[in-house]
Amino acid sequence: MSDHYDIAVVGAGPAGGTAAVTAAKAGLRVVVLDEQPKAGGQVWRAKSASIRSAPKTPETTAGDGLRRTLANSDATLLSDTRVWDIRRTGDTWQLQILRGGQSEQINARALILATGAREYVQPVPGWTTPGVIGLAGATALFKQSLTLPGKRTVISGTGPLVFYVASEIRRLGGTVTAVVTPNTRTDWARALPSMVSQPRLLARGGLWMADLMLARVPILWGHGVSAVEGTDHVTAIHTRNLKTTGTGPTFDADSLCLGHGLIPNIEAAQMLGVAIHHDPALGGWVPDADPDGATQVAGLYLCGDGCGIRGVTAAGLQGTLTGARAARDLGKAAPAPALQSWHRAARFGQAMTRLSIPTPQLAALSTDDTILCRCESLTRADISAEIDTGAASTNAVKSGRRAGMGPCGGKYCQTAIAALIAAQTGKTAADIPPSTPRPPLRPVPLGQAVGDFDYDDLPIPKPAPL
């Protein structure tokens, strides 16, 4: 099967969904491809059918709004669809997709990548113990199935997400043993001016805090989790004061939500030739893109957290800007929305992202025995030894030790490894780019990539000279 569209949008979160609706409204044939069963992305993840009667939250309401708008638009949504390869031939983008166990090709004249973000977890001793899950990962559990990570949970991490997760766990009947955040009250005071422009979000944050204070949940500011105790499950969480490096309290708990901000998913853009630069306030390495999504690659547009962590409001607004820009480039009349509200939302989002900029104090929570690369079970000492013998880039560490060659393709270890290389070689994070991304964009079963074939039809080229 091969289908032709004007625009293919990868990702149906706030950015991609909005971009698709905007472009479809301009009269273009638009297809949106998304891995999840329903549109909404990670932030507006839809409830599964079994919990449909659960009370609404601001996320489900916003997500339902996007899903309704998409359904009412002329854009075609292909959910449960995995894009595994993208390539440009002439003026056409060719996307290899997996749907229902079959590989298909989608063709489009323009491509909008709205690939979102993934979570960064600073490795600490014991972080691979069952019962430890990502902070953002925990939100996926509540949103989709109202599942809690455990009975007594410590919530630890940076930015506003710790307070959201703590408050949601309490709302759903779980016990929050403690909130442990590397951020200090001073960090938050610095972020305040940018937050004033988003009074509704500020008010929501206030409610989370009030709830935790009323429930007398201990909040440890300027602290990190220094170790997770337990062999086959979490039994206790140890903490450390990051400034004094003094030992903090220990909490009995059966689970830990741990996360240190978001990292843009830039691999698809990189593979298609978009240059990247380092901007800590946008989540690290980000592709070069204009506010309206245009890139130096003709016909390729980027929007949302995938080109810098600016948060959900900015993502939606940038989706509109990008959908309109792509439509205009394809010759349709699509008014350019004002940039002002995007800038305002982006300022707020970046202030939140700044709270998660990795610090040496946070990196110091990893010890020599701490696993940095989960796929290949490599400890910090393993990686460190490789750097000591002259591996001065993420690619060199990957080649020498396989860090980044496992199923995750380096998505979960590269930030910590790059930070270690920088620290050991006296460089900065901006000097150590991530390792070269390789297709497929997602692991793809070989038989499904190949599809049915007749041996005699294989296009076997002339053999090499004898």
Residues that bind another protein (CB under 8 A): 85, 87, 94, 96, 271, 386, 389-393, 395-396, 398-400, 402, 405-407, 409, 436, 438-440, 443-447, 449-451, 453, 455, 458-461, 463-466
Q: Which is nearer to another protein, 321 or 387 (CB)?
A: 387
Q: Which is nearer to another protein, 9 or 441 (CB)?
A: 441
Q: In whole angstroms, what is the distance from residue 150 CA to residue 161 CA?
A: 18
Q: How far is the CB of 13 from another protein (least distance, A)?
A: 25
Strands 223-229 and 92-99 turn out to be unpaired
Q: Which is nearer to another protein, 232 or 452 (CB)?
A: 452
Q: Which is nearer to another protein, 236 or 271 (CB)?
A: 271
Answer for the pair 395, 386: CB distance below 8 angstroms, yes or no: no
Q: Which is nearer to another protein, 147 or 428 (CB)?
A: 428
Q: How far is the CB of 397 from another protein (least distance, A)?
A: 9
**Among residues 292, 288, 266, which one has the least CA distance to residue 277?**
288
Q: How far is the CB of 441 from another protein (least distance, A)?
A: 11
Q: In whole angstroms, what is the distance from residue 337 CA to residue 233 CA?
A: 51
Determine the length of the chain: 466
Q: In whole angstroms, what is the distance from residue 389 CA to residue 402 CA?
A: 15
Q: Which is nearer to another protein, 29 or 402 (CB)?
A: 402
Q: How far is the CB of 394 from another protein (least distance, A)?
A: 10
Q: How far is the CB of 19 from another protein (least distance, A)?
A: 25
Residue found by looking up tokens 């610090």 in the block:
359
Q: How far is the CB of 121 from another protein (least distance, A)?
A: 21
Q: Which is nearer to another protein, 82 or 238 (CB)?
A: 82
Answer for the pair 228, 86: CB distance below 8 angstroms, yes or no: no
Q: How far is the CB of 443 from another protein (least distance, A)?
A: 4
Instruction: Note if the bond before 360 is cis, omega within 30 degrees.
Output: no
Q: In whole angstroms, what is the distance from residue 166 CA to residue 217 CA?
A: 9
Output b/e per residue, 277-300; b: 16+ Cβ within 10 A: ebbbbbbbbbbebebbbbbebebb
Q: In whole angstroms, what is the distance from residue 322 CA to residue 14 CA?
A: 12
Q: Which is nearer to another protein, 363 or 405 (CB)?
A: 405
Residue 53: Cβ-neighbour burial (10 angstroms; 0-12, 13-18, 19+): exposed
Q: In whole angstroms, what is the distance from residue 448 CA to residue 345 CA?
A: 42
Q: How far is the CB of 460 from another protein (least distance, A)?
A: 6
